[in-house]
Structure 1
Amino acid sequence: MRHVWVVGVLLLAASGAAVAAQKCPSIETSMVDKGFGGGPWRVMSGGPGECSFMAANTSVNFGFSHMVSESAPLAQKAAVEMREAIAGNSVVVPVPALGDEGFAYQTRNDAGDVDPKSMFFYGHRGSVGVSGYLNLAAAITPAQRDFAANLIAGVLGVATNAKALAKETDCPYLDDALVKKLLSSGSVSAIVPDKNNCVMSADGRVITVAITKGGRSREAAQGMMRSGGCTIDPLPKLGRTAGVMHHCFEGNPRAQVIVAGDARMLEVSYIPGQGQEPSDEQRATLVELAEFASKR
């Protein structure tokens, strides 16, 4: 199930990328209102590679997130592997609008039933893959499923736009050589929801970078360091509030570097996957990556 949890990390990072954004650059809010009703809908986050929408009822939402692979065959392969990974506990419907291997799916609960109000999507075009979701107040109809799929398919036009594609894969906070050390094998997928968030993944391993700004950044960082039951190694060379967290009792095995000032917090995380804790060498590389990011 590796691809399922990696996609979950990507969607989580994208959904948290921006709060109360004014506009989704690729989907008009009026189209979401038209297709799903239950409005008014509003944009919760928006960027070149992801958007999320929400209605007045917060459980009613819709969104998508791009993952850019190294080539078109690899993006198509990722779609095939994703379908194979979820097929055992999901109802899967082919969706040609989302590419040759595109599909929609609804996961089954322990009783074998699906939630008719919730649906997920996966598609591809060129080197771009896309994950999407739709949650409504009532059962999703075939027409609403197709409408959502067509909206998501529309955002795949970036695959033929070299300038836009470069924007979706350019993360100024990540040094290529250090990334290669942490993602040493497998094809690399990238998502850059906005200028303050980046996600890189390969073969079940994930690197995330997040920048948040606000007057209580240092306080927020201190709260994060106290949570999760993690071992924390201070990093005084990166500042008064800086440390690398690892061997946490809660969440996936991971390492996180947090660096905070009075109005800005940087978080750089690494998940090795397969239930493994990052090694001492990997943690050291992550600290180097955080040093690089902190200077940008």
Structure 2
Amino acid sequence: LGLDSARRLQFADPDGVDGWKLLGQIESAREPLTGGPVPRFRLAFDPVFDLSMVRATYALRQAQELAPDDFMTLMMLAKVFEDRRMDEAELAVLDPLVRLRPINLLQRKTQVEKEARREQLRARLGPSPPLTWENLSDLDRIKGRLLDAGRVVGAADLLEYAYPTEPRLWEVTDQLATLRLHLGEPARARALWEKAVKPPRPAVRAARVAMTHLVEGSFDAARRSYRDARAADPDRFEVHYGLAVLEQDAGRAAEALAEARAAEARAPSDVARAAARAIAAFVEPYARKPGA
């Protein structure tokens, strides 16, 4: 219902901020954080853990572009970066937040708290490491220092500077695209994955491309790419899980149920199996035909 409301707002007012804000709020609450912040950007993309958060990031960045001075948008965007230890990106959002003119005491109290948070982030980030290297070992060391410090923008820019064009190793392209995705830039991530010369498994690339369309809310394009991935590798969990999420959000309960069950059967872990099972349980009542 919440997603439907967000889409109705977007349809009624394509240039309005409210639909994107609501979508970001819903997606950020879809997979609530358990425990402390986790730097998911350092790991291979996992749709169970990462899809909702990158969708939230994209939606909130769209809202920020439409209304740069919206207090709640900046608050929520800072939080989704904080939850992944993306200190550099969080700081870039807090800077304009603390400069806004507060309209009530609660906002002023929040700004005081976030000013202290800014100082904490600056201290933790420290000086940027030198961005010159003599060999690939030096480059990897610099990239590691940037990622250790939560400098995701810096690490992504470094990789693009060091490897400006294809052919790159797939591992480099995949990491760079994943960083862009966590920053809320699915179009840039998609361009990187699409241009990869030699992906080890074409189904993986097709699934990642599909997921970028899903993040943007382009369901038809996402469905086409996911189906391409499914044709290339019918046993890949990532493909069936992504389709299950897509069809659930599109209101196609029967299709979502079939894909969720396929994902559950191919799940690589108990957590992934539980996530697929949860989708199946949610959509199953709606997938039953009247009178069945």
Output the TM-score relative to the length of structure 1.
0.28
Output the TM-score relative to the length of structure 2.
0.29
Structure that is richer in strand per residue:
1
Structure that is richer in helix per residue:
2
